[in-house]
Amino acid sequence: MDIHIFQADYLDPAQARDIGDLLHHYALDPMGGGTGLSADLRSRVAAELARVPGAYSVLAYAGDEAVGLVNCFSGFSTFQCRPLVNIHDVVVHRDYRGRGIGGRMLEKVEQIARGRGACKLTLEVLEGNRAAQQAYRKSGFASYELDPRMGKALFWEKPL
**70 pairs with which residues across the strands?**
58, 90
Of the listed ranges 51-65, 82-96, 146-160, the least confidently predicted one is: 146-160
Backbone angles phi, psi at 65, to 5 degrees: -95, 125
Question: Which CATH number is associated with domain 3-150?
Answer: 3.40.630.30
Q: Which amino acid is at 37?
A: L
Taking CA atoms, 80 is separated from 39, 77, 147, in Å, by 41, 5, 17
Q: What is the pLDDT, as a whole number, of residue 157?
A: 81
Q: What is the pLDDT, as a whole number, of residue 144?
A: 86
Q: Please answer whether residues 15 and 59 qualify as being in contact, where contact means their C-beta atoms are separated by less than 8 angstroms.
A: yes
Q: Please give the full DSSP string across 18-44, using - where no structure is assigned.
A: HHHHHHHHHHHSGGGTS----HHHHHH
pLDDT band at 147 (very low <50, low <70, confident <90, very high): confident
What residue spans define the domains of the chain? 3-150
pLDDT digits (tens, 9 = 90+) for 73-104: 999 999 999 999 999 999 999 999 999 999 99
pLDDT digits (tens, 9 = 90+) for 23-38: 999 999 888 888 999 9
Q: What is the pLDDT, as a whole number, of residue 69?
A: 98
Q: What is the pLDDT, as a whole number, of residue 94?
A: 93
Q: Mean pLDDT throughout 118-140? A: 92
